[in-house]
Amino acid sequence: MISQNSFQISKNWWNQFPYSLRLITKIRFYGAFGAGGVIYLTSLIFNNIGLSATVIGLGFTISAIIGTLTRFFTGNYLNKTGKIQLPLITSSILSIIASLFFICSRDTFLYIIGQSFVGAAAGIYWPAAEFGVPYFCHPIDTRKAYSLVRSSEALGIFLGVFLGGFMTNFLYSKSIFINDIFCMFMITYLISKNNCSIKRNLENFQEKFVDRINNGQSKWNKNSVIIILSILLITTSLALIQVTLPLDLVKGGLYRNAFSKEITSLIISFQLILLLFLQWPVGSWISKKGRLYGLKFSLVNFSFASFLLFFSTYLNVPAFYLICFSLVLVSLGTASFLPTSTDLVFRIAPSNKKGFALALLSQCFAMGYFFGPFISGRILDLFGNASIIWLSISCCCFIVFVILYRRLF
């Protein structure tokens, strides 16, 4: 009886959202479910195969460079057509090809080719996925809508990493790529099945929504530069945590012993579980604050989290607890940042540049992978730990927080 009641409550909560918003939420769930294992576990898989941290970081950098080109192409396409179906299906096909290359890869060449397709797929997917949310959320507030889709992504990423880690350790070492192929087929199916509904919603709400947001605004907001730079710093921090932290943990710190693959996967899963449970309540709470509050809150959390990661390299047994606490702060900062950044960028952009603006936001995430993982890989290979990386992130986030606070308030 209790379980039936709980199910009905969950169903009623889910049904409060418009059908079109639920559809884009499902699409983004499958995208995150497939990408979760690929993002967090690819570096560990190919490190076990024998690739160096430098080569692994180079792969992520090449992926980011290719993603840059496809992002702005996609943004221009969205500005002209306002259609998201073709980019989403194209990105799914490219992601399937990337996973096939990863499955076949035993050396650097095929790994780099696979990362190239990942970059192309991500560059096409993200602007279109972000573009659809504000047009599909009416009458729900945009920040609340972004909190919903980000919550579904947090669930997808957690399941992708958790199941991927289990299958990688106990079934097949490259199971995450098979899971990614399955998820991309599901996205293609959902879009094909609901193509008419997607088209109708874009046509019905696009003009009305843009006019309601900024009344035909023709120029960028005066604070656009400082906002974009703040977002770029946070996305770079996220990229370094996703790529560098697993390698840093298995290599060990100055005095901290190296963690096993199992413990490392557990720590990463812990952070993803936190994000899963924090994304909706934190996102809903942030939506009631000023639009820049979430950005400041994120910078403070990332600054302290990175400092704790830096401090943990000089410890041994207590380091485990410091790392876990730092990931609590990372989860809080991420849960605040994800819905806030998308809503901010959408609103500061001119009416006829929404697609470009969301491509620019997606590019901020890609920029984090441009040189960050490659440089961090070199640092790990040269020094054996990432203490200087965490200290740099901590200082930069704190400085930008001070600049943001004084400039805008």
Q: Would you list the domain boundaries of the chain?
A: 18-408
Rounded percentage of the chain residues whose pLDDT exceeds 70: 84
How does residue 1 score in pLDDT terms, banded at 50, 70 and 90? very low
Q: Where are the beta strands (DSSP E) in 151-225?
A: none
**DSSP, residue by residue, 256-308:** SPPPPHHHHHHHHHHHHHHHHHHHHHHHHHHHTS-TTHHHHHHHHHHHHHHHH
- pLDDT for 217: 54
Mean pLDDT of the chain: 80
Distances (CA, A) of 228 to 21, 119, 129, 187: 26, 21, 19, 30
Q: What is the pLDDT of residues 66-93, one digit of tens each?
A: 888 888 788 888 877 778 889 999 999 9
- Statement: residue 29 has pLDDT above 90: yes
Distances (CA, A) of 70 to 63, 128, 229, 363: 11, 11, 21, 10
Both tokens assigned to 325:
């606490």
Q: Which residue has the higher pLDDT, 287 or 31?
A: 31
Q: What is the mean pLDDT of residues 13-42?
A: 84
Pair 138, 281: CB distance under 8 Å: no
Q: What is the pLDDT of residues 120-140, one digit of tens each?
A: 998 899 888 888 787 777 667
- In the chain, the N- to C-terminal Cα span, in Å, equals 52
How does residue 15 score in pLDDT terms, banded at 50, 70 and 90? confident
| Architecture in CATH of 18-408 | Up-down Bundle (1.20)
Q: What is the pLDDT of residues 191-206, one digit of tens each?
A: 988 877 666 666 565 5
